[in-house]
Amino acid sequence: MPKSGTPATTLHWWIPTRLNALERNRARAYHVAYCGMVAYTFLLKAFEYLRLGRTAMSVPYTIPQEAVAVGFWEAGRGILTHHVVLDAGRIANYQIVTPSTWMASPLDPFGVPGPYEEAVLNTPILEEYGRAEDFTGIDILRTIRSFDPCMPCTVHLYAGGQVLHRDATTCMCGEEG
């Protein structure tokens, strides 16, 4: 981090030996610092271009008549992709694949679970309960929420012969009663 009101700081991040909710949130904090430095670098480059008189904001562009294209963007929750097919200069097909779509994916054709599912497999259950109907699944929900999902969904927990429905986007406050 550059020197400002405080001395310059060097941040070190490494791939953790154990992936869990805490490490995902810690990595997210480091990513904020990284994005700040990337933005700062581009701001300095923009100032340099202004000093040199390189201020053109756009270049002429001709829309292709036929095209298949994809764009990738690193969003706050993960990779976001845009897919487009042009036919006769018009959009014939357009699709967005959001980070939550990637993360909440089911088993792939090779039997590999999606990131959410893989993260909750073998998650230690730390909550204490005496009867199956008292199980809330809060540890599993914390794991899912650590991915910061952007989806209005409900998590279905199977506890014994009982199915519990919990909203993945709330804190479960007041669910005890």
Per-residue pLDDT of the chain (177 residues; tens, 9 = 90+): 666 777 877 878 788 887 777 787 788 888 888 888 899 999 999 999 999 999 887 788 898 999 999 999 877 677 889 999 999 999 999 999 888 787 777 788 898 888 888 888 877 777 777 887 777 777 777 777 777 666 555 556 666 677 666 555 544 444 444
The torsion region of residue 72 among left (phi > 0), alpha (psi -120 to 50) and beta comes to beta
Q: Which two tokens stand for residue 175?
A: 């669910």
Please give the model's pTM, rounded to 2 decimal places.
0.48
Cα gap 88→67, rounded to integer Å? 9
Q: Are 38 and 44 in contact (CB under 8 A)?
A: no
Closest by alpha carbon to 64, among 89, 84, 47?
89
